[in-house]
Amino acid sequence: MAADFCLVMGQINLVVGDVAGNVKKVIAAAEQARDELNADLVVFPELTLTGYPPEDLLLRPGLIKRVEKGLVSLKSKIKGVAVLVGHPSGVVRADLYNAASLIADGQCLASYFKHHLPNYSVFDEKRYFVEGKEPCVVDYKGIRFGITICEDIWFAGPSVQAVDVGAEIILNLNASPFSQGKWQLRETQVKQRAIETNVPIVYVNQVGGQDELVFDGCSFALSNTGEKVVRAPAWQQGLFPVLISRNENQTLSIQGELATKETELAMIYQGLVCGLQDYVEKNHFASVVIGLSGGIDSALTLALAVDALGADRVKTVMMPSRYTAQMSLDDAQQMADILGVAHSVVAIDSLFEQFVDTLSEQFAGKPADTTEENIQARVRGVILMAISNKTGAMVLSTGNKSEMAVGYSTLYGDMAGGFSPLKDVYKTLVYQLSHYRNSLSEIIPQRIITRPPSAELAPDQIDQDSLPPYEILDELLERYIGDDWSFEELVAAGREAEMVARVIRMVDRNEYKRRQAAPGIRITSRAFGRDRRYPITSGYTVTSTIE
């Protein structure tokens, strides 16, 4: 495809705080784009040099000094191609900006300071940055580029300002984390900006995992009428050309390739794989260990781990008690065999009995209750953490969001671990994702999916003995946690008042557990932790009224 100008979307995976490493990635990507794609300009994501989000690293003057050195390095080492990179600029705790700079031929041709600083959900940019005010339009090789950053594209002002001072095309650098349906929302929003300004827009997003957040990439370019012309694939690093031509009427047109869009379930599954892989890799763990129970949560966690890391870096341990069904042992072994992971069995009955005997004087006169159930879970936690300490393998916690919400988990027991891949995945979605993974290749035994879920900590125990059916529970949780519905609204929607009140009480009183849980991958717009910040000690109850 002939064109006047080759712009390349640099959809890369960055490491927060590793300025030197990120600079090397930019240089390598720029050189590859120049040599293989004949690129004129490579556009990289928001805060390219620090990675996103750097959080309180931005309060360290030493980080900004490294960024300044990194910019000098880019000027001196990149030849024959221009780059647009994101970086912090200015003085820590005074006049620090979220900036983007166009570097070409050893010079910084222009710098833009982000206008709109998000300060909601997982974003805290007003804690670190001050707002820019001025538009930035730079003429490079005869094309007038307007530069904006991430949140700016959600408002009309920055793009309109840029066009008013001569921009022919808008470049938007992003660090937009994934959540369900987010890619559709982005494209709808940017389409509105393109139609308003009547100029093409190039939207470049990063890819990869950073603690709880995952970034799906999905960079794209729209024509001046809002038509999707170029789209990069999800969850893949790469260099994706946007070819720009000047028409007879002197306006710009763009062309390129449209990657196939994944289904929502595929996006979620791949996001969980990406988040787990990057957490392990970027924190330099050699392997992971999973307590495999024969249940669906640990089965899905195992599938994710093998897809993320390979079977040779995953170990599973089955820790049966007197309450563990034989089919749990058989199904766990079968799945481990299918995937080819190292699997061992460590019985816990003798350890459990020693705990109970040791505590017999303390427990005298008191009937058995959930205390004994929790001891079993904590024995398993001790075993897994001991294996982790001895081998260096990180423990993956296997709990899901439904359990985390209502406290159906044991602190220092099944909650033990360094990372929790399913932390933001409701139980009903666990089933959907398991079916999705089996549609690719059947690795989860069908009986694991179809049998009633059970913690197997007491005789004939199933989850539904103490919880509403998961399809009802998850509906209540999504509305209460995700949408902030009140008790009255939930009851008005058709749910029984006593059940609603009970679920709400469980959610509220288990905040202390969630505060101590391992980090996990955010896939919804309201995850526990960064998104939903509630006090542990609180006199507020949603079922109480003022008289």
Rounded Cα distance, 343 and 316, in Å: 5
Q: What is the mean pLDDT of residues 340-361?
A: 95
Q: What are phi and psi of 415, to 5 degrees?
A: -80, -10
Q: Quick check: helix, strand or coil at residue 262?
A: coil
Which candidate in 46, 151, 187, 403 is catalytic?
46
Q: What are phi and psi of 104, to 5 degrees?
A: -155, 140
pLDDT at 541: 78
**Residue type present at position 334:** Q
Q: What is the mean pLDDT of residues 439-463?
A: 80
Say if CB 395 and CB 289 are below 8 A apart.
Answer: yes
Say if CB 216 and CB 267 are below 8 A apart.
Answer: yes
When the pLDDT of each residue in the chain is averaged and rounded to a whole number, the result is 93
3-state secondary structure 213-261: EEEEECCEEECCCCCEEEECCECCCEEEEEEEEECCCCCEEEECCECCC
pLDDT at 463: 60
In order of 93, 456, 469, 472, 502, the CA distances from 465 in angstroms are 53, 12, 9, 14, 14
Which candidate in 6, 25, 136, 150 is catalytic?
150
Structural element, H or E, at residue 149: strand 143-149
Strand-pairing partners, residue 84, are 43, 102
**Token digits of residue 324:** 């563990």
Is 543 a residue whose pLDDT tops 90? Answer: no
Mutual orientation of helices 470-477 and 497-509 as an angle, nearest 10°? 70
Alpha helices in 322-369 (DSSP H): 326-339, 349-358, 360-363
Q: What are phi and psi of 149, to 5 degrees?
A: -130, 120
The label of the residue with tokens 């008005």 reads 492
Catalytic site residue 46?
Answer: yes
Rounded Cα distance, 280 and 288, in Å: 8
Which candidate in 25, 114, 282, 513 is catalytic?
114
**Token digits of residue 321:** 């008690």
Catalytic site residue 114?
Answer: yes
pLDDT at 1: 45
Rounded Cα distance, 241 and 224, in Å: 18
Say if CB 303 and CB 443 are below 8 A apart.
Answer: yes
Rounded Cα distance, 423 and 418, in Å: 12
Query: What count of other Cβ atoms lies within 10 Å of the Cβ of residue 542?
Result: 18
- N- to C-terminal Cα separation, the chain: 72
The label of the residue with tokens 């526990």 reads 528
* pLDDT tens-place string over residues 304-321: 999 999 999 999 999 998
How confident is residue 32, by pLDDT bands cut at 50, 70 and 90?
A: very high
Strand-pairing partners, residue 252, are 246
pLDDT at 527: 93
Residues 6+ apart with CB under 8 A from 131: 113, 114, 115, 116, 117
Say if CB 270 and CB 60 are below 8 A apart.
Answer: no
Strand-pairing partners, residue 245, are 253
Say if CB 208 and CB 14 are below 8 A apart.
Answer: yes
**Regarding predicted confidence, which is higher, 529 or 230?**
230
Domains and CATH numbers, the chain: 5-261 (3.60.110.10), 266-515 (3.40.50.620)
Rounded Cα distance, 62 and 473, in Å: 48
Is 22 a residue whose pLDDT tops 70? Answer: yes
The upper half-sphere exposure of residue 453, i.e. CA atoms within 13 Å in the direction of its Cβ, equals 22
**Token digits of residue 166:** 């001569």
Q: Quick check: helix, strand or coil at residue 90?
A: strand
How confident is residue 396, by pLDDT bands cut at 50, 70 and 90?
A: very high
| Dihedral sign (CA 493, 499, 504, 507) | negative
Mutual orientation of helices 470-477 and 427-440 as an angle, nearest 10°? 110
Say if CB 476 and CB 486 are below 8 A apart.
Answer: no
Query: What count of other Cβ atoms lies within 10 Å of the Cβ of residue 220?
Result: 25
How confident is residue 124, by pLDDT bands cut at 50, 70 and 90?
A: very high
Number of helices (H), then strands (E), belonging to the chain: the values are 17, 19
Catalytic site residue 151?
Answer: no
* pLDDT tens-place string over residues 258-308: 999 899 999 999 999 999 999 999 999 999 999 999 999 999 999 999 999
Beta strand pairing status for 228-231 and 238-246? unpaired
Q: What is the pTM of this model?
A: 0.94
Rounded Cα distance, 373 and 369, in Å: 7
